[in-house]
A = this chain, B = another copy of it.
Amino acid sequence: MQDLMVKILDKINSPKDLKQLNISEMNTLADEMRQIIIKKVNTTGGHFGPNLGMVEATIALHYVFNSPVDKIVFDVSHQCYPHKILTGRKEGFTNPDKYHKYTGYTAPEESAHDLFKVGHTSTSVSLATGLAKGRDLIGGKENIIAVIGDGSLTGGEALEGLNNAAVLGSNIIIVVNDNDMSIAENQGGICNMLTELRENNGEVKNNFFKALGFEYHYISDGHNIEKLIETFKNVKDSDHPVLIHMHTIKGKGFEPAEINKEPFHWILPGTLDHLNDMLGEESEDYNSLTKDYLLNKVNEGMPIIAINAATPGVFGWDKTFRDKMGSHYIDVGIAEQQAVGMASGIAKRGGKAVLGIMSSFVQRTYDQLSQDMALNNAPVTMLVYWGGISEADATHLCTFDIPLISNIPNIVYLAPTCKEEYMKMLDWSVKQNEYPVAIRVPMMISYSGEEDNTDYSILNKFKITEQGNDIAIIGLGTFYDKAKELKSYIKENLGINATLINPRFITGLDEEMLNNLKSSHKIVITLEDGELNGGFGEKISRFYGNSDMKVLNYGSLKEFTDRASLDELYSRYHLTSELILEDIKKIL
């Protein structure tokens, strides 16, 4: 792309500068901002459609309100780039050398204009009710604004928040950014209700928001800065809860994204340079394998159903797949609790519920896993994606799912190391009716080349893949490869032929095997791709606590990392063969 002209933006270093502009200049500014967002996101990857849709509204918010005294909380912060540009961080979008300086989410350490670190959806209204209540306790007078998308509105915390915001009795302004999309299509009664409001310019017989007690305002064109400013001015300093419902266009200003919203929600670097390749052929991976399996079962007449909470893209459940699945597919919206509750009900009624969920979002449904699913032994199959140590930002870490899931009774949590195991586990899980099962789906495919004949109904049987002595290495799931590598390294450096173990079961110990190791082994090493605290390895340590066996557990520490490199993390966690060898030498 050619160099971009940002004449107006050049003059904007804080929201204060914005207040000098007239409407025409602000419209020009919006164009400039949009161009730098498109260029930057196409270079680094990131949230695309949501940010393009919020340019004008963000300008209007900062024109009318007085941030950071007035406080704006952006839900999920998928749409915070315009806000970052206007609050002193435009270099992160205009200067390629600074493209990686700022996180893609709101981050208080970057700016006083960011109130919270936010990356999971549906939290802004709750957080804003807290800011408002804190203000009232302390005697402040500022405006509290929560911006929330129509997709985020279907999440439990958002709805609990609306119920409370409505009766707050003092200033709180909720801006519903309705672009008629969640990450994929939005779902449910709330979606239909919003559609009806949009189609009737905000005038309907049964207004959901008014029913809750909000003063309601509708803005039909959320890209009309003049109208936005007028409405925001109108509600500024309100002494009671107000809800503004504005209609925006996701991907506004970039036609392919306006037409085809889902793939442009978040894009990879270079996406815009290869628009025609976006629907290219898939090679075999865990996504394609899972999709093929599910479609086969539907064709065989099994009452199977693929369920997810608004993130079908994570699993490659694209439109083609969804169409083929038909009534055997459901997206419950951003509503992980509902996904698990519903899956449990389906399983209890004899349906075969296969629930896809990203590791980081399992956190949004602990009680349902425990009460709806595990306590009721509902034979749901839950596929947990992206679990493991990663370079993700602090809000999307996927290192906590093992402590979370594996300490709940009744759930069988499995960790395949290759395609053959994964397919066998999936098939076993779908066909059995005894247990809630979770499978930690690896990110990268690998092959053992051997058919897996394991009967997974015999729980907690670990597999010795290479018998040795002195040292046993237990490599869980995605870290089985690290265990193999470590075995070689130990052989080279210590001349010890270590035993290699693939445990496969995260949720229980093979006590017989562990006991047998005592006779010919001095050290057991565990490797897991996730948090050590509360995880898999500690259970091995506890098991051997009354014996002479030495145990070394490796995994991530209890911390929120933020875009740290894998090299840095593996080094800090001693997750390299070299560093583990040093630890071994200390106790040999």
Chain A residues with CB under 8 Å of chain B are 71, 108, 115-120, 123, 126-138, 140, 154-157, 159-167, 187-193, 204-208, 210-214, 303-305, 327-328, 330, 332-333, 335, 337-338, 340-351, 353, 361, 363-368, 370-372, 374-376, 394-395, 400, 403-404, 406-410, 531-535, 537-539, 541-542, 544-548, 550-553, 558-560, 583, 586-587
Contact A403 B400 (CB under 8 A): no
The contact of A407 among B157, B328, B533, B587, by CB within 8 Å, is B533
Contact A367 B363 (CB under 8 A): yes
A501 → chain B closest CB, angstroms: 17
With contact pairs A350-B138, A367-B364, A403-B407 given, residues A332 and B164 touching in the complex (Cβ less than 8 Å): yes
Q: Which 9 A-B pairs have the closest CB atoms?
A: A130-B345, A156-B156, A126-B341, A134-B349, A166-B189, A189-B212, A534-B534, A134-B351, A160-B335
Complex CA gap A510/B74 in Å reads 39
Write 26 A-B pairs (CB below 8 A) sorted by A numbering: A120-B367, A123-B368, A127-B348, A129-B341, A130-B344, A130-B347, A137-B328, A137-B351, A160-B335, A161-B338, A161-B341, A162-B189, A167-B187, A190-B212, A206-B207, A208-B208, A366-B367, A370-B400, A403-B403, A409-B558, A409-B559, A409-B560, A410-B560, A534-B538, A538-B539, A546-B550
A51 → chain B closest CB, angstroms: 21
The contact of A192 among B128, B213, B376, B533, by CB within 8 Å, is B213
- Cβ of A120: which chain B residues have Cβ within 8 Å of it? 367, 371
With contact pairs A133-B351, A212-B189, A346-B137 given, residues A368 and B126 touching in the complex (Cβ less than 8 Å): yes
A318 → chain B closest CB, angstroms: 22
With contact pairs A136-B327, A164-B338, A372-B116 given, residues A131 and B546 touching in the complex (Cβ less than 8 Å): no
The contact of A134 among B161, B191, B303, by CB within 8 Å, is B303
Contact A154 B161 (CB under 8 A): no
Copies of this chain, whole number: 2
A417 → chain B closest CB, angstroms: 23
- Cβ of A188: which chain B residues have Cβ within 8 Å of it? 163-164, 166-167
Complex CA gap A134/B330 in Å reads 12
Complex CA gap A188/B163 in Å reads 5
Residue of B nearest to A508 (CB): B558
Complex CA gap A551/B546 in Å reads 6
> Mostly helix, strand, loop or mixed at chain A's interface?
helix
A259 → chain B closest CB, angstroms: 25
A408 → chain B closest CB, angstroms: 7
Contact B559 A551 (CB under 8 A): no
Contact A546 B542 (CB under 8 A): no
- Cβ of A344: which chain B residues have Cβ within 8 Å of it? 116, 126-127, 130
Complex CA gap A335/B586 in Å reads 51
- Cβ of A140: which chain B residues have Cβ within 8 Å of it? 349
- Cβ of A210: which chain B residues have Cβ within 8 Å of it? 205-206
Contact A335 B163 (CB under 8 A): yes
Contact A126 B337 (CB under 8 A): yes
Contact B546 A133 (CB under 8 A): no
The contact of A553 among B211, B542, B552, by CB within 8 Å, is B542
- Cβ of A212: which chain B residues have Cβ within 8 Å of it? 189-190, 192-193, 208
Complex CA gap A513/B442 in Å reads 39
Complex CA gap A130/B193 in Å reads 23
Complex CA gap A340/B161 in Å reads 11
Complex CA gap A335/B130 in Å reads 14
Complex CA gap A517/B96 in Å reads 54
With contact pairs A130-B342, A133-B351, A371-B123 given, residues A160 and B164 touching in the complex (Cβ less than 8 Å): no
Known: A126-B338, A365-B367, A400-B408. 8 other contacts (CB 8 A): A119-B371, A130-B344, A137-B346, A206-B208, A366-B404, A374-B560, A532-B542, A546-B552
Complex CA gap A191/B330 in Å reads 31
Residue of B nearest to A134 (CB): B349
